Structure 1
Amino acid sequence: MGKALFLILMLLVTGLLLQPVSAMAATTEQWAFRAIRKGEDIGHHNVTVTRRDGEAKATVDISLIVRAFGFLPLYHYHHKSQELWRDGRLVSLESTTDDNGAQHYVKALATADGVLQIEGSRFKGSAPADVMTTSYWNSAFPRHKLLLDTQSGRLLEVTVAEQPLQPEEGVPPDARHYRLDGDLRLELWYDSARRWIKNRFRASDGSVIDYRLAP
């Protein structure tokens, strides 16, 4: 190996080694839920969150299809979104949703003073810097009463009440159960580490949809 090439390689390696550890380290969390309706699997709700240097980047992918007789599509829902959080506050959000043919979107961006500017298919305006999104993965979710609907941009006011824990399939005995009422109604379960582990809500036809973590 020539001296010049050796010197270049040494400089590259040294440069990599001198990078701050915090700039190279990242942690990734993933949630993969199966959506169950009337005992049948109707799709998935997947979330990936990558954390680095005080930032969290979340990617959400939802695909649900309800079929009659096991093959005839009656309803479909597809949602994709990306969130960027910094120091526990939302910096930006972009999403697109196909709700059985109705198209929705959200674009949100935090301003220099922290206020969140929202342009959505059902709301255009601003929201406080500490607003919480309806993507549920954030461990601080149960503490918030004002939510940003990631489907259409609406601001939702809710009440959150912890419920007595009942035996639930796939839920550990130290899990915590919350019920939301108001502009959004659903039930959520988090484990002792405040990690989202279960979800339940009623669809527009009155049927119950359960989220269960995929094995």
Structure 2
Amino acid sequence: MLLPDRDDRKCTLHRPLRAGTQPVRLDRRAALAGAASLALFAPSIARAQSARRVYRLERGGSDIGSQSLTVTRSGGEIVVDIDIDLRVSLLGITAYRYEMTNQERWSGGAVQSIRSNTNNDGEREFVEARRTGAGLEISGSGFSGTLTGTVGTTTYWTPAMMRRPQWVNTQDGSTLNIVASRRGSAQYPTATGTVSTAVWSLGSDLPLILYYTDAGEWAGSTFDAQGEEVRYIAQSLAPSLGPIWSES
């Protein structure tokens, strides 16, 4: 997930763009049919559900890329796939490029594995994590170690993450101390119109704002990049992601 960088020097997205900047190289049949359809509304017993969402990314009102988010549930396992493709251009020259692929596997409300690769403007970053008896063992470009307890991730597609005080940065594996705080309500834009959302801030380790609808759908997020707002805008809120989540 593209994030505000705590060290702005590492990410040219957070630096003012200057002319001349050089590029650095997401009857019975009826009864059976009815039973199958009911599974869609009961996440804990659903055998197969999948939903995909695309977000447009803007910086200072200009289109800079997109992120796709696909969430699939099969039995007790949830698989989350992320693809991000972003580039900031100046006078037709690519001044900054960011690409990420990330896959997470969840079961019983706990992340079981993370595998991500990121091209951060020519710098490779990665996370390889898996759950063992000791906890979540992480090998990343920014952190290697074991986390215990119920952790969240910077994929944050479900508001259930707001109840988790420690997150894994899926870009480099570093740990984030999250202080989630409800900041009221706001109308937030999507490609199909504005929606009512709950507004959440996450504290100094991750200075961004998240917007979730009353139904628990992630509508988007915003953060500051050297005085310009970066904004995630959902192209549609259908199909729903929320019913797929379950901690059972």
Q: TM-score range by the shorter chain?
A: 0.7 to 0.9
Confirm or deny: 8 A CA contact 1:110 1:129 kept in the other structure: no
SS in 2 for 1:85: strand
Instruction: Give CA-to-partner distance per residue, 1:36-83, whole Å, 9 cap, x none.
Output: 1122110001110101212100100011100112x2111111111100
Aligned residues: 192
Query: Among residues 53, 65, 85, which one is paired with 1:43 in the alignment?
Result: 65
Q: Counterpart of 2:206? A: 184
The Cα of 1:158 is off from its aligned counterpart by 2.0
| Letter of the 1:172 counterpart | V
Query: Does residue 27 in structure 1 map to residue 28 in structure 2?
Result: no
Q: Counterpart of 1:120? A: 140
Q: How does 1:54-133 map to 2 (within 5 A)?
A: 54-69=76-91, 71-113=92-134, 115-133=135-153
Relative to 1, partners in 2 of residues 1:60 and 1:208: Cα closer, same or farther, differing over 3 Å? same
- Compare CA radii of gyration and give the structure with the larger one: 1
TM-score (norm. length: structure 1)? 0.83
Relative to 1, partners in 2 of residues 1:202 and 1:143: Cα closer, same or farther, differing over 3 Å? same
Query: Among residues 152, 174, 179, which one is paired with 2:172 in the alignment?
Result: 152
Root-mean-square deviation over aligned CA pairs: 1.9
SS in 2 for 1:165: strand
Confirm or deny: 8 A CA contact 2:137 2:145 kept in the other structure: yes
Greater relative contact order (CA < 8 Å, ≥ 6 in sequence): 2
Confirm or deny: 8 A CA contact 2:180 2:201 kept in the other structure: yes
Confirm or deny: 8 A CA contact 2:68 2:84 kept in the other structure: yes
Distance 1:180 1:142 in 2: 8
Distance 2:119 2:185 in 1: 34
Distance 1:141 1:24 in 2: 21
- Gaps of at least 5 residues in structure 2 are 1-31, 40-44, 237-248
Confirm or deny: 8 A CA contact 2:188 2:211 kept in the other structure: no
Distance 2:94 2:102 in 1: 24
Query: Does residue 193 in structure 1 map to residue 220 in structure 2?
Result: no
Q: Counterpart of 2:4? A: none
Distance 2:227 2:122 in 1: 20
Distance 1:166 1:60 in 2: 26
Confirm or deny: 8 A CA contact 1:187 1:201 kept in the other structure: yes
Confirm or deny: 8 A CA contact 2:168 2:175 kept in the other structure: yes
Aligned-residue sequence identity (percent) comes to: 31
Confirm or deny: 8 A CA contact 1:62 1:78 kept in the other structure: yes
Structure 1, 146-155 or 124-133: larger mean CA deviation: 124-133
